[in-house]
Amino acid sequence: MTHLLHLDASARTTSVSRRLGAEFVRAWRAAAPEGEYTYRDLSAEPTPFIGAGWTELCDAVLAAGATDLDRLPELATTPAAKQAWRIVEPLLAQLLAADVILIGTPMYNYSIPAALKAWLDQVTFPRMSLGHRRFVVVSARGGAYSPGAPKAAFDYQERYLRDFFAGHFAVTDTVFVHAELANAVQDPNLAHLRAEHESSLAAALTEVTTLAKDYVR
């Protein structure tokens, strides 16, 4: 049965990306009642930033030419690297146990929140492949970045994650669903875009409901 790992990265508790992720999970659970589900809120329960010990571990991986993640514990030889491994181990175990990784993320400053980046830094090691795993990213943005939008070229959120998963995890089939123009809800100057936001959100909710059924083995 499929094991879904669900990560949320929004600093907001009432958040659009959280709503999209929750809808994916609702539809996924309905389609796969036997499926295993693990949740982590990266904003409420952040992973620490990597430190010197993590870099010592990573340098040891590079020096050994290691391609097998099982070798990480033996390559953590210094006290700092051992300490870093104690943080990495449960995060990596949680990631490797999953078949599908659902990430709910806002766009922050044209990119991803630091909370999500901190998690990626912890779990990513050189030459690591997550080959058979699949990623789904559900996101919210204050503005509009779809093809043709004036700021489309500023979307370093989807581009970054897409290239990251392909380049570091050898995963090339990541699906992205975005709800756009979310700032129209709070910003009176964007009130004229509220209807457009509502229809973007409605379309995104419909898309994740349908999509979730494709992630049941």
Annotated binding site for FMN: 10, 15-17
Q: Contact at 8 Å (CB) between 72 and 57? A: yes
Task: Give the pair of three-digit tokens for residue 194.
Answer: 């509220």
Residue 150 beta carbon to ligand FMN: minimum distance, rounded to whole angstroms: 12
- For residue 22, what are the contacts with CB-CB under 8 A and spacing of at least 6? none
Residue 52 beta carbon to ligand FMN: minimum distance, rounded to whole angstroms: 28
Closest to ligand FMN by CB, 35 or 143: 143
Residue 100 beta carbon to ligand FMN: minimum distance, rounded to whole angstroms: 20
SS3 of residue 173 by DSSP: coil
Cα distance between residue 177 and residue 170, in whole Å: 20
Closest to ligand FMN by CB, 35 or 142: 142
Query: Taking the CA of residue 104 as centre, how many other CA atoms within 13 Å lie in the half-sphere pointing to its CB?
Result: 30
Closest to ligand FMN by CB, 109 or 172: 109
Beta strands in the chain (DSSP E): 3-8, 36-41, 100-106, 134-140, 175-179
Q: Which residues bind ligand FMN (CB under 6 A)?
A: 10, 12, 15-18, 106-110, 140-143, 182-183
Closest to ligand FMN by CB, 62 or 152: 152
Residue 197 beta carbon to ligand FMN: minimum distance, rounded to whole angstroms: 9
